[in-house]
Structure 1
């Protein structure tokens, strides 16, 4: 078998290293210049032409001081002479202001080195225009200064911790809030500033924030100040991550006791205003005076007994106060008419739901009162009005309000009929359970009616010291 030989390739002769080096210097985008011991320029590349504006023919043989602004020439010359004399060693880096051919100046970074070969001295300088870098550095410094000023002068208490670098920072507002200096806070155990009942809650909230990976989340809780006083705060927590690992955190704290007090005062004023509107409506219909108030109180009680959240219970009460606001559009003669109503008169009464919706739909209130006014006569089986809404299209809050409206209306005297008995009311709820009325609501209301609890709420209303007036006025 014939031996296979690799193809015979003619090796190319590589240029010598000196030639490669000279070619790199000549083509570099950085300014490269060579100087003799006297400081005259003996080498000048294309990069130097671009940066300084001088051609090679113009600059060769010229003193390097030609590239120095007059105001810095003396200082720069001393540094350069010291380097060329070997006092700075064989290599080094300096920054100084340089002068272009057009007279403009710019910051330059020079890497200097000294060569001596065959007794011949060459000082080599590689320069780079660092104006853009200097601008960025200045912008970063200014940004850092602004951040520090914001941090220090913020009215909100701020605490920052860098775990990796073990750097802690806090501002004056933090010290003012809790009474401790920063050093005291950093040395303190969390248990010294957190009430016992808050510790587990805060721990769970922090775990929740971490698991949800939310950038900024708030926690409302109390802390102890240095003098032992409890302070209600809103805490914003932001974890700092580097390469997927928590490297630190930033926190801001705000004393919200005064804000909460103001909010409660505003809410109280709104409730009182709503009660006034409710009473104005009832002046049009003396037979149903107090109806909206009683429905509101009953809805609040049902919400409490169902274990609903406080804000939902509050919403039920408010919706109850305004659910019949549309009756203001019904003639008093119809509202107070004794005996049976004609069909067209019933049509006017039924229209109060849409009229109420039209009155409330554009109100900028924190509760959906317009929907409650529109739907409080709807039923699960579609037999209600005005739209015959069925099933799960009716919210739990509307279902509660609707049943409270039925119970209160049946319990009260009307011009066209006497008040119904407790037996009648119980029968209505049991017959309508799961068909007209929400099962959960009926199951809560039945024992309230059987025990008389719902009427006791209305009886307590006559006293200014009732729990309802205390909570919502």
Structure 2
């Protein structure tokens, strides 16, 4: 029927319907623009935080100070301040030094004037730092009642404590000079992460510098053999030692060592069996290099030493005595322990960032709260059941927490919609795999996190999205995530349906084995849940 055959009422209804469609298109366009801007801002924050945590973990100690300068500029510009600076306390805690500074356009640097400042001269508003608290002041002139001078007082400041093992090392300062500024919680959280990363990096530098110094000292001793020289008999006595050997153990002279230590294994070695092991190695091999053990000093304290020694044989081939030298490596051992703790601290920082990103997404979608955590748990259990290496399982854990990060661009009203979603809404949701990949692809991680993120909705028969990959085109980690994701989603409540239960989820995976899901992964999953009775909360 053409328009001439329609009634006036029909034409009016069609006009109304057309206007509604136009209005819907306008709303959709506005929502799209908002989503794109939100995605852009979020992506910038994610890149900044993840790149910061990852890059600082791989910087050499010689590059750390330069890296701090670079990040001070990047973060300063990102949060919109005019000056960012780092202060470090002296070893005795009496003075503070301005060690790093970045200034915006037109801002005079103050770093030369901020050296060896007595702690007692610090302004009173900085006092919360001593309680390891953030100082957040949006109207500084109101507090200090002054704002004058060539380098006028900042309008707003924020100070972040630098804490290592509950000890205050210093603080970061960020100053807004041209205008007053209110610091959001997200900005404060970002700056805390920056402070934690700087602290870990500085401690790693100190530890590595100490370690290199100790190792260099040890190499010199090894090359020239001029310190801690000894000769010992088969019945556990010293024949001779040099003055350096005596000083290492806290004795006044070599003679005092020879007169005092009459049984090496019982009086000198913290673990007497260690000396018997050393003698056995010397008898078997003829020499030992870098044998590490603990000694008692004269005052009863303990030190770590590294021993280079050889068995000296007589004309009959029998061992006559042992000789070699000791090197005190106590500092190196402590440095190694500190370095281990620093690496663990960096890992915790990365883990905290991953958890924070996952939590940010879940806060937008309360109906799937805990989904990433449960998927990560299930995926890791399946991977362990498959016998994958520990390092690969750690990567799968990170992938589980971040696999749905792309949903941050999906409007919250779609994520939590109680009824059936329409085709347009489903199209938006499906884009989250690609968006997640775009967010993560530029971040250097030791695992293929971005690839697993874009592939976790692929199916081995090619029916998945977004690329329609098949079989071996899909990486193993994504195949594991696919099973874990479906299992958790079906067994959990969703706004558009009640939970289907674990049994129904396992039935779905069993039926689609070899079609949607990798058979090896499915078999491991079924062994885990059916044969071994694994359950999660």
TM-score for the superposition, normalised by structure 2: 0.41
Q: Hey, which of these two has a bigger chunk of helix by percent?
A: 2
Greater Cα radius of gyration, structure 1 or 2: 1
More contact order relative to length (CA 8 Å, sep ≥ 6): 2
TM-score for the superposition, normalised by structure 1: 0.46
